[in-house]
Structure 1
Amino acid sequence: MDKGFIVCVDDERAVIETLREQLLRFFGETHEVEVANSGEEGLQLVKDIMQQGGSVEVVITDQVMPGLKGDELLEEVHRLLPETIKILLTGQAGLRDAIDAVNRGGLNLYVEKPWNMDEIYVDIERLIVRYRENVENHRLLRMLEQRVQELEEQVKDF
């Protein structure tokens, strides 16, 4: 299987570099880890990966950033890629932001800063397994639907 992509978005360089290093340590064998410094840059990165045929499996974003906020980014990602795992990582967001991210952005996991990668690794791994199972199920369903259509055509011609 091709490597999936994990996209990380945070406007603080130290945070994004630490997160990238930790994710590579845990997921580097199975995933490419890409980073962006703003919500707008993160959204463009997701679109670029999609256009190149890559699979954006996880988006991890901070909430409080200049411009496009984390919950707004997740809402856009959810519109483009509803199956993608969406994680809000923040030290400043309030309950309203978390509720908005869940309701509009299909949030899968809410993590408060400072995070413990050993703890959230298990959650992310579980979500990735579920994501890949869903992708495979959709692929098999499309194959089955195509086969049913072929058989219906054969019955018509019979």
Structure 2
Amino acid sequence: MSNVVILCVDDEHIILMSLREQLNRNFGDRYRYEVAESVAEAWEVIEELSMDGSRVLIIVSDWLMPEVRGDEFLVQVHKRFPGIVNIMLTGHADEVAIERARQHGNLYACLSKPWSEEHLIGTIRAGLENEAG
């Protein structure tokens, strides 16, 4: 199993399953695909991955989630793990939140829901190249 990870965070299970399926279809077993239905669960996943020697390369996070908004989460992630490429996927984010995530959370891209698989995969590929470079 790969020790490099793409983590998807969204409070809608169907969205997470769709993201995982699209990632698997396009990247196969090159990466491990983890999902979390809340920011709290995402932190648990990140901690577990860190302890087992895995490395999160990219986080694809929804913005509008209960308790903690995606921009706040990505700012926190960037403070602890500045090398992770952050992508926000949302149908509701306001420009202030997006700009905050860009300024303080190393936001690589913001994609709108519904997304196209081609645009999502292209953005992730570019983010991975950016991370490697």
Superposition RMSD on alpha carbons, in Å?
1.2
| Cα deviation 1:8-29 (Å, max 9, x = unaligned) | 0000111111111111111222
Alpha-carbon distance between aligned partners in 2 of 1:105 and 1:130, rounded to the nearest angstrom: 16
**For residue 103 of structure 2, what is the aligned residue in structure 1?**
103
Shift of 1:105: 0.8
Letter of the 1:57 counterpart: L
1:31 aligns with 2:27: no
Larger Rg: 1
**For residue 115 of structure 1, what is the aligned residue in structure 2?**
115
**For residue 124 of structure 2, what is the aligned residue in structure 1?**
124
- Gaps of at least 5 residues in structure 2 are none
Q: Give the alignment of 1:7-156 within 5 angstroms.
A: 7-133=7-133
Shift of 1:3: 4.1
Where has structure 1 moved over 6 Å in runs of 4 or more? none
Equivalent residue pairs, number: 132
Alpha-carbon distance between aligned partners in 1 of 2:90 and 2:21, rounded to the nearest angstrom: 18
**Could you tell me whether the CA contact under 8 Å between 1:40 and 1:67 is conserved in 2?**
no
Range with greater deviation from structure 2 (123-132 or 56-65): 123-132
Letter of the 1:110 counterpart: C
Q: Which has the higher strand share?
A: 2
Shift of 1:79: 1.2
Alpha-carbon distance between aligned partners in 1 of 2:76 and 2:101, rounded to the nearest angstrom: 11
Q: Which has the higher helix share?
A: 1
